[in-house]
Structure 1
């Protein structure tokens, strides 16, 4: 059983996050720990930084929104036979507390829309980077439009972190790791380097963790892959860093900054 932290804000949890958790729990039972913040507090938390203490606005409306979402969370867990714990915020939650929660969790799951909250340009990348800097466990980001993945795409740059990412993914999400898996060569600037997919050690690790995998250097870099027709495929992205990810719109498993 893995401890999974799910973070949400406002009056509801994204239905796509619930759907992913249900799918995960069918393969590996989880202890689901709910972290519920008033609307916009999550982005404020990431923006403020760990050195700033600021009491965020918290009113009666926010209180009842949190009550509603907590009952929704409890009902979801009971209906799906999921063990759960709760943590709610009344405006006092700080970044070190988030870090501590992730330290004792195996996985953090958030909806993509959480990273867009209060962000007028609707680009969640900078908040994702900040979140990954402060988290001490892998993060799964679920898009607003979600279809259960039928394949994995592993963004592999040959680094120690990339090898750890592919092992952590298969360990924490074995049901997803059993899907068809493609290894795509990437580098920090998203330039293809096919040679890193030809290492004998990588083949051994892939054989140990992914029953249906193949190396596909002809796909090109991640940006090329998602700019074409294949962007509509039901894929989950696995990466050691968000710098290897050119876009949102697909479920993402990321292990570090």
Structure 2
């Protein structure tokens, strides 16, 4: 049984994120932990040390915000009971919300976030800063889910020859063995003219051990411009992507093909940090 974190902020309840967790439980029972974060601007308080040095006063939750959270907790509990999901509720993150979430991910197999709801009121940028930071510092793999999607019947494994892309493929296979029988395409994504799959024999030996219906595909277009369009026609899929190293993490969200897929809210995206 996997331990899954499902995170909500303030008044926002992601129906899509919960539906993904519900479908996971149908396939194989899970322990679902609902984490309820406050509606407070922590843009300068990602790390505990930064918060301590800044001397900033943390605003208390307004009564209206607290009422929204309690309403969401009640809804979450009712939905879990109806779907026969074993669940827990965590809401003690009011002091330092994002660092608290980071610690929660240390003790979980997977984090699920709603791509359209997670702190969407903070900025119009998509993915917004909070979503980027949550993915960046998560100590477990993350699935970013739009509000409307089809539960994956196909897997798209984004591969560029890097260790991070191979790591993500392995983590996805370990966490979602129930999806390994789906039609799977390992797509070589590279923004240059390289034709051959790097380490083709090695990646074939690994991937074919986990995915029984596997094909290889070289994307013959600029992924930064057209990958999101190509993938938008595959609405019953999940995209699997590596997150690069932490030092170069900004690459993932700086006009990358993954950014465009998340922003378009078409399919779930699985991201695994190293």
TM above 0.5, one fold? Answer: yes
How much does 1:251 deviate? 0.6
Which residue pairs with 2:167 in the alignment?
A: 164
Which residue pairs with 1:31 in the alignment?
A: 31
- SS at structure 1 position matched to 2:123: coil
**Among 222, 239, 242, the residue aligned to 1:240:** 242
How much does 1:166 deviate? 0.6
How much does 1:92 deviate? 1.8
Query: How many residues matched?
Result: 251
| Cα RMSD (Å) | 2.3
- Deviation digits for residues 4-42 of structure 1 (CA, Å, limit 9, x no counterpart): 011101334211112111111122211111110233x3x
Which residue pairs with 1:52 in the alignment?
A: 51
How much does 1:168 deviate? 0.9
How much does 1:142 deviate? 0.3
Which residue pairs with 1:255 in the alignment?
A: 272
How much does 1:58 deviate? 0.4
Q: For the Cα contact (< 8 Å) 2:32–2:85, is it kept in 1?
A: yes
Deviates more, 1:103-112 or 1:156-165: 156-165
For structure 2, the residue ranges without an aligned partner over 5 or more in a row are 244-251
Rounded to whole Å, the distance in 2 between the matches of 1:238 and 1:61 is 38
Rounded to whole Å, the distance in 2 between the matches of 1:133 and 1:91 is 20
Q: For the Cα contact (< 8 Å) 1:183–1:197, is it kept in 2?
A: no
In structure 2, do the counterparts of structure 1 residues 89 and 171 end up closer, same or farther at CA, with 3 Å as the change threshold? same
Q: For the Cα contact (< 8 Å) 1:38–1:89, is it kept in 2?
A: no
Rounded to whole Å, the distance in 1 between the matches of 2:193 and 2:7 is 34
Rounded to whole Å, the distance in 1 between the matches of 2:95 and 2:166 is 38
Which residue pairs with 1:137 in the alignment?
A: 140
Query: Normalized against structure 2, the TM-score is what?
Result: 0.82
How much does 1:67 deviate? 1.2
**Among 222, 225, 228, the residue aligned to 2:227:** 225
In structure 2, do the counterparts of structure 1 residues 24 and 193 end up closer, same or farther at CA, with 3 Å as the change threshold? farther
- Deviation digits for residues 51-101 of structure 1 (CA, Å, limit 9, x no counterpart): 225523402111211111111111111111111111114732343322211
Rounded to whole Å, the distance in 1 between the matches of 2:43 and 2:205 is 39
For structure 1, the residue ranges without an aligned partner over 5 or more in a row are none
Q: For the Cα contact (< 8 Å) 2:102–2:134, is it kept in 1?
A: no
Rounded to whole Å, the distance in 2 between the matches of 1:168 and 1:34 is 22
Rounded to whole Å, the distance in 2 between the matches of 1:55 and 1:134 is 21
- Deviation digits for residues 199-227 of structure 1 (CA, Å, limit 9, x no counterpart): 21111111111111111104545442322
Which residue pairs with 2:248 in the alignment?
A: none
How much does 1:115 deviate? 4.0
Matching of residues 66-215 of structure 1 within 5 Å: 66-89=69-92, 91-115=94-118, 117-124=120-127, 126-187=129-190, 190-191=191-192, 193-196=194-197, 199-215=200-216
Query: Normalized against structure 1, the TM-score is what?
Result: 0.87
Runs of 4+ aligned residues of structure 1 deviating over 6 Å after TM superposition are none
Rounded to whole Å, the distance in 2 between the matches of 1:221 and 1:180 is 24
Q: For the Cα contact (< 8 Å) 1:31–1:82, is it kept in 2?
A: yes
Rounded to whole Å, the distance in 1 between the matches of 2:112 and 2:214 is 25
